[in-house]
Amino acid sequence: MEQKVQLPNRPLADRMRPNNFNDYTGQSHLVGKGAVIRAMVESGSLSSFILWGPPGVGKTTLAKIISQQLDRPFYSLSAVNSGVKDVRETIDKAKKQQFFDKPNPVLFIDEIHRFSKSQQDSLLAAVEDGTVTLIGATTENPSFEVISPLLSRCQVYILNSLGKEELISLVDYALKTDSYLKKIKVKVKEYEVMLQYSGGDARKLYNTLELVVRSEAPSKSGIINITNEIVKERLQENIAIYDKNGELHYDIISAFIKSIRGGDPDAAVYWLARMLDGGEDIKFIARRLVILAAEDIGLANPNALLMANSCFQSIHVIGMPEGRIILSETAIYLATSPKSNSAYRAIDMALAEVKKSGNLPVPLHLRNAPTKLMKEIGYGKDYKYAHSYDGNFIADQFLPDEIKEEQFYAPGKNSREKDIQKNLEQSWKEKKKYDK
């Protein structure tokens, strides 16, 4: 009788966690040969830093590898279930280590963006005096969520979602090396749905692979064949309602944003309700509304940004459950507003021009002239003060000579920007007279 392969207790993602840089997948800009984090570790000198990136790209793993490579004590706290007391207890343990001439420990804080100001304040002295080397991990922009004194003591390194080839290599490596998977016959015939569902998240990818393998019966030849259709079926049977720390977090916020952008208030409120019911951080939702107001509504309705920013400020004061009303009002207002991405397109076009043409010289008449010498060599000469002319406008050249004909802002097709278009057309007409 054939003996069954015993199912492992630890999840695949944990079993496949690499222990060194050579086995670590992705983030070559940080851990490749000569890259900044690898260079730090190889030199034996480690400073505090924050890893910012989406879920499942290796933030926790990287912190553990660094600690192992440097043979340093490793303390780990999660901002979800640790308070000021836990932070202080961990720092006290680290201080006691100093008496034994051991290198200062690595203190890893997962989801550091969820720490309150008082929790972050409790870290400052220990980071400043080198009692611990802090490695924080966050999925949110640390500029918004990490207090300035702590942020000034840390470098911020950005981790990217894993690419298609990297994800496929993870699957293939797991099938060949995992103690459980290599004992059973598994063949991946199609990767597309697994990769699509993972969204660049290695943890989700491993969870999907393990779910399908454990739930799929072998074929007559004894092989478990994995296809797109099989992956779809298994995911639909087992998908979680909502997981703010992973599974549907990015899918639902994406649906929410796209519903508002598409002008559907009903869908916007529905996806908002899904997030609130799942326990999503309301500050995360409000931040995305601020971004959307500028990116997708912009000059078609400038009040949208004021509304979104007011929402962001209000939910900090009100909290839940009443905060849901403020978020709903804002989502509906933004969904029913006219849309324009002209400001978003304008700055991206200007940035592309800067990268292409470099640091072009500022025209002399626009330069600041705080000294006599600067005035003598022409700084500020012939500058025309717009408010001294009719309509507070003067036809002059404000771009560098090399790109003086460039146009970055193109008004959107909405009532407010039509007025802007008329004003600009008149200005451009005057400018052409000036150019002649």
In the predicted structure, residue 431 carries a pLDDT above the cut 70: no
For 109, the enclosing helix (H) or strand (E) is: strand 106-110
Edge-to-edge strands of the sheet including 49-52? 74-78, 106-110, 133-138, 49-52, 155-158
Give residue 175's domain range.
164-238
- SS3 letters for 44-74? CCCCCEEEECCCCCCHHHHHHHHHHHCCCCE
Tell me whether residue 324 is in a domain.
Answer: yes
Q: Are residues 87 and 120 both part of a single domain?
A: yes
Using DSSP's 3-state secondary structure scheme, residue 137 falls into strand
Neighbours of 4 (CB within 10 A): 7
pLDDT value of residue 337: 93
CA distance 308 to 281: 16
Q: How far apart are CA 289 and CA 302, in angstroms?
A: 14
Give me the helix-helix angle, 202-215 and 164-177, nearest 10°: 50
Distance CA 19, CA 28 (A): 16
Q: Are residues 173 and 151 in the same domain?
A: no
In a domain, 17, yes or no: no
Handedness of CA 85, 80, 139, 164 (dihedral sign): positive
Q: What is the pTM of this model?
A: 0.57
- DSSP letter string, 91-107: HHHHHHHGGGTPPPPEE
Dihedral through CA 292, CA 298, CA 304, CA 309, nearest 10? 60
pLDDT over 50 (residue 2): no
Q: What is the CATH number of the domain that holds 201?
A: 1.10.8.60
User: How confident is the model at residue 238, as a pLDDT?
Assistant: 54
What gap in Å lies between CA 138 and CA 78, rounded to an integer? 11
Whether residue 13 is contained in a domain is answered as no
In this predicted structure, what is the pLDDT of residue 256?
93
Mean pLDDT of the chain: 82
Cα-flanking dihedrals φ and ψ of residue 110, to 5°? -80, 140
In this structure, the answer to whether residues 263 and 232 fall within a common structural domain is: no
| Same-domain status, 268 and 213 | no
Tokens of 5: 């392969």
Query: pLDDT for 210-259, tens place per residue?
Result: 888 887 666 656 678 788 888 887 776 555 444 544 546 777 888 999 99
For the chain, give the longest Cα–Cα distance: 99
Dist CA 6 CA 43 (whole Å): 43
Q: How many CB atoms lie within 10 A of CB 296?
A: 21
Same domain, 33 and 115: yes
Count how many domains the chain has: 4
Integer CA distances (angstroms), 308 to 9, 14, 47, 155, 333, in order: 46, 40, 37, 30, 9
Same domain, 287 and 406: no
Instruction: State the average pLDDT over residues 59-69.
Output: 89
Q: Residue 349 domain-assigned?
A: no
Specify the DSSP class assigned to residue 110: E
> In Å, how far from its chain's centre is CA 1?
52
Collapsing DSSP states into helix, strand and coil, what is residue 76? strand
Same domain, residue pair 315 and 207: no
- Asked if 239 and 247 touch (Cβ cutoff 8 Å), the reply is yes
The predicted pLDDT at position 161 comes to: 83
Are 39 and 148 within one domain? Answer: yes
SS3 (DSSP) at 148: helix
Question: Which among 267, 253, 312 has a CA at the least distance from the CA of 55?
Answer: 253
Q: Are residues 79 and 149 in the same domain?
A: yes
We report the CATH number of the domain holding residue 290 as 1.20.272.10
Which one has a higher pLDDT value, 12 or 199? Answer: 12
**Nearest-angstrom CA–CA distance, 106 and 77:** 11
Cβ atoms of 235 and 208 within 8 Å: the answer is yes
148 and 31 both lie in a single domain: yes
* Confidence tier at 334 by pLDDT (50, 70, 90): very high
Lowest-pLDDT range of 3-12, 43-52, 211-220: 3-12
Residue 177 counted as domain residue: yes
Query: What tens digit of pLDDT does each residue of 307-320 get?
Result: 999 999 999 888 88
DSSP 297: I
Q: Are residues 53 and 139 in the same domain?
A: yes
**How far apart (Å, rounded) are the C-alpha atoms in residues 262 and 192?**
27
Residue 144: what residue type?
A: F
CA dihedral 409, 415, 419, 420 (to 10 degrees): -20
* CB distance 108 to 137 below 8 Å: yes
